[in-house]
Structure 1
Amino acid sequence: MNTPAPTSGRTSRFVTTQALLALDARHPLAAKSLIDAQDMHRTVMSGFPGWVDDGSPDARAQMGVLSTWTIDLRQAQLSLVVQSSVPSDWGRLPRQALAEEPRILTVDRAFRIGDRVDFRTVVNPVRSRPPAPGSPPRTRGTRVAHTRPEHVKAWFVRRLQPAGEPAVAPDGVPRIGADADPERLAFRMLPKVSSTAPHKGLRIARAEIKGTLTVTDPAVFVAALTRGIGHARAYSCGLVLVR
């Protein structure tokens, strides 16, 4: 299970499983997954039959499923990384869709204060726009996507956790248990993903962030690796990959 183990506060252990999938982007399953975010979600979740009741509204969260993908258009290959707290089974994927046999990795790693790790993540960077004046009580704000790298930078910096700072920022934003030099991070806007009916109107902004993190709070850092960061985690955002 990828639940943080008890720690002394200076060390925390991260245990999870990751599946590395290479799909032929010309196969209909991969092609539909690229075109429709909900189809990508179904492809990811197809690797976990039987672990939770059918139709469970929080199946992904129960199994700790996070994912991220990249596409090589020249090679027509879709590379998909799927992380989970339970073992995955990709026997339901059509063999013709696989460019290579799936590889399953078990990750078991301890993180300590001061550890430096290279990372990559694809996030859904959004801010909340308050309800219009005069809106009914309890009206929710509207999520608005950041569309410029400098705004994504500010979004991510708010989640960094300098040494000695609490796990939650003063404005309520959860931090990630690690710090970084913002000027040494790389930010790149990625194409939006969307879905048709029954999810008409679903459009997810995405940005890639790369760089080096210094662990400042191991337990919080492991929680961020386990649960992901930001919104749209059901749609291949929020997984933080480290090495």
Structure 2
Amino acid sequence: MYLTRFRVNTGRSEGRRLLGSPHRVHGAVNASFPTPPSRDGSGPRVLWRVDRNTTSETLLYVVSPNRPDLTHLVEQAGWPASDEPGWTTFAYADFLSALHPNDIWGFRLTANPVHNVRHAYVKEGERTKRAAHRTPRHQMNWLLARQEKAGFEVVRKPVERQLLPEGDAYELIVRDQIPLQFRRTSEPARGSGDVQITKVTFDGRLRVTDPDLFRRTLTHGLGKAKAYGCGLMTLAPVRREGEG
């Protein structure tokens, strides 16, 4: 497994065009591999996420079973004349194998929190419609409902640090709700190939409860719309109290 970080040059029109469509990023990421891994669920898949940290720093993260070659992205949306390398790839397998129960990490996850709804006119047994969770409270509950089967638990705040009677019990921030609508084909038919998703970013702290399940979460993704930049969770060391 590999974790790759690529900085997008948002000063270039091609870089901005790329970021304007998750379908274009999906295609560019897939083009990084001679043979993209299978998406049938039999093994780890390619996951990606875009982090817009500041107006001058936009990073593309990719987790993949094979080492990617992002030369085409450097030429399209990077700094091809720079002496600095266009991307950095880290061996991820050793990090994953070193995860243990009760390890605490900071995390970031961009996901597509959805639920199935049944309209009054839909008969019993007919298909329900998938809809996005719209409020931070429901989006948070979406993540909390999946944590056990994903091999982790979001860390609870000490009672003295909880500012609200409810909804503030966890080391978890929900931010950057972004509704997206884009086309995944060039077909002219109206409505054909249209995709609508809502991306939400979670920042927080977690505790590993089941390392095997958690490794699967990190390499297979969490939730829907993985092809369009959702589902990838990354970890960061937690600074302990008293450390500089």
Taking structure 2 as the reference length, what is the TM-score of the superposition? Answer: 0.76
> Equivalent of 2:105, from 108, 117, 125?
117
Cα 1:23–1:60, aligned 2, differ >3 Å: closer, same or farther? farther
2:198 and 2:74 map into 1 onto residues whose CA distance is 30
Question: In the alignment, is the contact (CA less than 8 A) between 1:30 and 1:78 conserved in 2?
Answer: no
| SS at 2:131 equivalent | strand
Q: Write out per-residue CA displacement over residues 88-132 of structure 1, whole angstroms, 9 at most, x where no aligned residue.
A: 111223526214611111121211111111111011010111365
Counterpart check, 1:67 vs 2:48: yes
1:236 and 1:120 map into 2 onto residues whose CA distance is 13
Structure 2: unaligned runs, 5 residues or longer: 80-84, 157-168, 186-191, 237-244
Aligned counterparts, 1:30-49, within 5 A: 30-49=15-34
> Equivalent of 2:4, from 16, 19, 23?
19
Structure 1: unaligned runs, 5 residues or longer: 1-15, 162-174
Counterpart check, 1:150 vs 2:137: yes
1:129 and 1:218 map into 2 onto residues whose CA distance is 33
Counterpart check, 1:126 vs 2:114: yes
Question: In the alignment, is the contact (CA less than 8 A) between 1:118 and 1:242 conserved in 2?
Answer: yes
Cα 1:197–1:219, aligned 2, differ >3 Å: closer, same or farther? closer
How many residue pairs end up in the alignment?
A: 209
* Equivalent residue, structure 2, for 1:165: none
2:229 and 2:66 map into 1 onto residues whose CA distance is 18
* Equivalent residue, structure 1, for 2:220: 227
* Equivalent residue, structure 2, for 1:176: 150
Residue type of the partner of 1:66?
A: L
Taking structure 1 as the reference length, what is the TM-score of the superposition? Answer: 0.76
| SS at 1:92 equivalent | helix
Percent of residue pairs identical: 25
Counterpart check, 1:90 vs 2:64: no
Displacement of 1:179 in angstroms is 1.1
Aligned counterparts, 1:157-196, within 5 A: 157-161=144-148, 175-180=149-154, 181=156, 182-196=169-183
Select between 226-235 and 95-104 the one with higher mean Cα deviation: 95-104
Cα 1:148–1:134, aligned 2, differ >3 Å: closer, same or farther? closer
1:190 and 1:44 map into 2 onto residues whose CA distance is 23
Question: In the alignment, is the contact (CA less than 8 A) between 1:35 and 1:193 conserved in 2?
Answer: no
Cα 1:183–1:93, aligned 2, differ >3 Å: closer, same or farther? closer
Two-structure CA RMSD over aligned residues (Å) = 2.5
Question: In the alignment, is the contact (CA less than 8 A) between 1:41 and 1:236 conserved in 2?
Answer: yes
1:154 and 1:63 map into 2 onto residues whose CA distance is 26
